[in-house]
Amino acid sequence: MTSHTKPNFLFIMTDQHRWDWLGCAGHPVVKTPNIDALAATGTRLENFQVTSPVCMPNRASFMTGRYPSTHGLRYNGCTLPVDSTCFTDVLAADGYRTASIGKSHLQPFTVDAPLHGDQESDRLIEEARAAPAGNYTQEQPGSYEGDDRFAFDLPYYGFQHVDMVTGHGDRCGGHYRQWIRKNLPNWEALHDRANELPHNYTCPQAFRTPVPEEFYPTHYVADRAIDYMSAQADTDAPFFAYVSFPDPHHPFNPPGRYWDMYHPDQFDLALPYEAHQNPTPPMRWMDEQWQNGVGAITYTTARREGDQHLREAMALTAGMITMVDDQVGRLVAALKESGQYDNTVIIFNSDHGDYLGDFSLLLKGAMPFRSVTQVPMIWSDPASRKGRVSPALTSTIDLTATILDRAGLTPYRGMQGTSFLPVIEQDADHHHDAVLCEFNDLGARLGFSKPARMRSLRTLEWRFTLYQGEDWGELYDLTADPDETTNLWDSADHESVKARLALHLAHMLAGQMDESPISHLMA
């Protein structure tokens, strides 16, 4: 039983998990009873936005409280400078024990360039690898080739304990790879794609893994988190445990019973490509590629798929989500068993979403539809365990300030978010008038002639999006058109709205600088 007065934090993050794929968010098929129970004892923020619709920039925003343009990890494949100030540094300085268990992705976990043969990609990768002095190889495969457990240079972005899982699916790397080599004698055969179990799925990246559930990375992450939290039960220091599952990110390979827990026929394609009244150029380009049988440029690139492939991807994603939900149940049960539940703030979030069938698209990319920018956010707090849904507009950019606020600590200079604790504790329904989302691509794809640079302003009523150098953009009336099916960019009736939002976005972009060395008290 803990004796300290400060709260513990269990921060659970999933990967590529859209906001509406939870039972508590109204999904008619996916079963998530344990996550739903968190919502029933907490506050679910139904308008929580990411700062970028891809992994690394948004995760770095979570750690620093800054937008990608400011913290420096601007695109996947880049790196967060090791001298960055993170909220975990502040927690540790106050006596918290800090742990990162699972996927971190603050540094590249591959040595391969994301876009092969692309000069702009190669240039950006060289730039990323010329980051400020420090060790930027700790998430890469070479660090885990030996039999002895790889030792991190600690603290690692403020974390005093690291149990690393890199990659996705059943063949993750990091400490997990070292563990499975030691504990599963036939691991090589189980990881051989030639040995997949029989199935009739044909969608890209559907692989029926023979890896047993208890040896799958998601189960490993939960096991290590339970070990860590249990070890803290009798200490005098509070803990912050960042437990990051690499699912339900593709590939689509839920293990064991989760593979056929759902059937493709259970899923409706409510927003086919034809539902969009005036598709944008990237959407039209992906449709043309699909019609001509041309595949996506990379494993992670957004693409259009046919109805059957989409339904299969949805069914397998649902299996991965329920698998994560079962592990969430184990984490909460472990807190209760060790007597720590009544002093632990439990937060559930994701780093970004997935188009997952919207407009017949799959995965994520430059187009900031709600399916990729709006993610689950649940805050279950022992000070106010109540089932409530708040419409307040909140963002990844706010997490750092909110966690520090709840710990009774002062946010550090340079943070660009603000604490939404009043939404949690005082039932406030307003936080931001608008939030920003950024996307920077590594190379030209999806029909763009150069790497896409997207900046998007989101309010409760509108989504306004600019693409650098393009004569088109996006404007959606989210009140009348929550599914974003009609782009009003060229609508004469909405010129004044577009001008107002463009000015608002310009003001937000003007503030994208690192103000950490600047004192507002200076004359």
Q: Per residue in 100-149, pLDDT tens?
A: 999 999 988 877 655 554 565 556 556 655 566 788 889 999 999 999 99
Residue 224's contacts (CB-CB under 8 Å, 6 or more residues apart) are 101, 102, 163
8 A C-beta contact, residue 9 and residue 344: yes
SS3 101: strand
Question: Across the strands, what pairs with 394?
Answer: 48
In angstroms, the CA 231 to CA 366 distance is: 42
Run of H or E residues at 393: strand 388-395
Report residue 70: phi and psi, to 5°. -95, -45
- pLDDT for res 522: 43
- Dihedral sign, Cα of residue 176, residue 180, residue 182, residue 187: negative
- pLDDT for res 103: 96
- Asked if CATH classification 3.40.720.10 holds for the domain at 8-435, the reply, yes or no, is yes
- Crossing angle of helices 55-64 and 399-406, rounded to 10°: 30
Q: Which residues of the chain have pLDDT under 50?
A: 117, 520-523
List, for residues 180-194, the tens digit of each pLDDT value.
999 999 999 999 999
- pLDDT for res 122: 58
Mean pLDDT of the chain: 93
Q: Give the global pTM.
A: 0.95
List, for residues 200-222, the tens digit of each pLDDT value.
999 999 999 999 999 999 999 99
- pLDDT for res 365: 94
As a whole number of Å, the CA-based R_g of the chain is: 22
- pLDDT for res 515: 82
SS3 143: helix
Q: Which residues of 263-280 are buried (b: 16+ CB within 10 A; e: fewer)?
A: ebeebeeebebebbeebb
CA nearest to 511, candidates 387, 414, 420:
414
SS3 210: coil
DSSP track, 439-506: EE-SS--TT-SS--EEEEEE-SSEEEEEETT-S-EEEEETTT-TT--S--TT-GGGHHHHHHHHHHHH
How do the domains of the chain map onto residue ranges? 8-435
Looking at 29-172, which runs of residues are DSSP E strands? 43-49, 97-102, 161-166
CA nearest to 60, candidates 45, 74, 39:
74
- pLDDT for res 125: 57
